[in-house]
Amino acid sequence: MPTPFAYVSLGSNLGDSRRLLPEAMGRLQQFSDEPVIRSALWQTKPVDCPPGSPVFINAVAGLRTRAGETPESLLSKLRGLEVEFGRQPKQVLNEPRILDLDLICFGVETRRSEALILPHPRAHLRKFVLQPLGEIAPELVLPGQTRCIRQLLGDLPADQVIIKL
């Protein structure tokens, strides 16, 4: 039986984000048994960030998890990768960051703990997640949703403007 597919949202608005995100997607390969599926890079305005925050570069990657991997163990690896790229402990909610990796979903798994909520609780509302996710998995239905990514994307307000790079 195949292992679950996990989708990870990547974001950066500090440093050379156009170089960092492809490098981070490449590093995700160490957690996958198949080639990582990569979206394009997208430039987005900061959402719910402190005033004056720089624009973000966002992407989504899909990976086939390894045998024995759990959502919690993958999340731990993602946090470690953020630190390797220079991410500092957060001081302010949604502050600018060199690398932000969010586990959007892990197969059909659901979680609700202090450390992890799956699927990501706001993924279905964020164009900076849905647009790149729609590139690589338009028919994916997130656990708890009844509509696929393509349909969810069509439901979003037009004011969430993002630019494909």
Residue 92's pLDDT is 66
Cα of 31 vs its chain's centroid, Å: 15
Number of structural domains in the chain: 1
The whole model's pTM is what? 0.93
Domain residues for 31? 5-122
Active site residues: 87, 97, 100, 102
Q: How many CB atoms lie within 10 A of CB 39?
A: 23
- Cβ atoms of 59 and 36 within 8 Å: the answer is no
Q: What is the mean pLDDT of each run of 10 residues along the chain (165 residues)?
A: 90 94 96 95 87 92 95 97 88 80 95 93 93 96 95 88 90
- Using DSSP, state whether 14 is helix, strand or coil: coil
Question: For the domain that residue 9 is a member of, what is the CATH number?
Answer: 3.30.70.560
